[in-house]
Amino acid sequence: MIIKTSEFIISAVKKFQYPIDNRVEIAFVGRSNVGKSSIINALTNKRHLAKIGKTPGKTRLINFFLINNDFHLVDLPGYGYAKVSKKEQASWGKIIETYLYDREELKRVVLLVDSRHKPTADDITMYEWIKHYGYDVIVVATKKDKISNNDLRKQEKLIRETLKIPDDKKLYLFSSANKRGRDELVDYLFEDLASE
């Protein structure tokens, strides 16, 4: 699939603020510093589409982007950022849960984990949560450029084992910095959901 156009549509917190045009949605979720905005910008080839904050936890809203005038890419708030209050963390969790609960347009959730580290308890909870709600979940390990080729296999094995990803399910390792494998990842994430 070729992404020809991408534009920011709306930031939402409450359900009534979500777009109601019945377009298919693909959501991205992950820890606050996992690089969600960076991967959205890399996949769409638009440098400033999603705002990248200097501090983790910048995305506190649900951001909707219209892709090819055909479907929405949805950037969910990051979780697990320790420097905000428990109350604020809980409110972000509620925003995510409200969106995931019974959202008919949502067809797939992309869970981003940091390829350099073992997935956290929050990552495991999120992975289980997405499956619990019945969505197709794809795991992408970000920041691939920051680990050596020797460690790639080891990290992939660690992520698979920690999240209990079945062997027949693909796990993508990707770097937003060099974008290697971008076209294949775009095809894998979107092709069967979006019309050409």
Structure confidence by residue, pLDDT tens digits, 54-99: 555 555 789 999 999 999 999 998 887 655 556 665 666 778 888 9
Is the model's pLDDT at 117 over the cut of 90? Answer: yes
* Mean pLDDT for all residues in the chain: 87
What are the boundaries of each domain within the chain?
A: 6-190
pTM here is 0.90
CATH architecture of 6-190: 3-Layer(aba) Sandwich (3.40)
**What's the whole-number mean pLDDT along residues 136-149?**
93
pLDDT of residue 124 exceeding 60, the answer is yes
Mean pLDDT score, 18-26: 93
Q: What is the structure's pLDDT at 195? A: 56
Distance CA 185, CA 134 (A): 22
pLDDT tens-digit profile of 179-190? 999 999 999 998
Contact 113, 21 (CB under 8 A): no
SS3 52: coil
Q: What is the band of 27 on the pLDDT scale with cuts at 50, 70, 90?
A: very high
Q: What is the pLDDT of residue 144?
A: 94
Q: What residue type is 8 in one-letter code?
A: F
pLDDT band at 145 (very low <50, low <70, confident <90, very high): very high
Averaged pLDDT, 134-162: 93
pLDDT at residue 107 greater than cutoff 50: yes
Q: According to the model, what pLDDT value does residue 196 have?
A: 43
Amino acid found at 172:
Y
Q: State the average pLDDT over residues 114-131.
A: 93
What pLDDT score was predicted for residue 108? 94
Tell me the H-state helices in 83-194.
86-100, 121-132, 149-163, 182-190
Query: Which residues 6+ apart lie within 8 Å of 101 measured at CB?
Result: 133
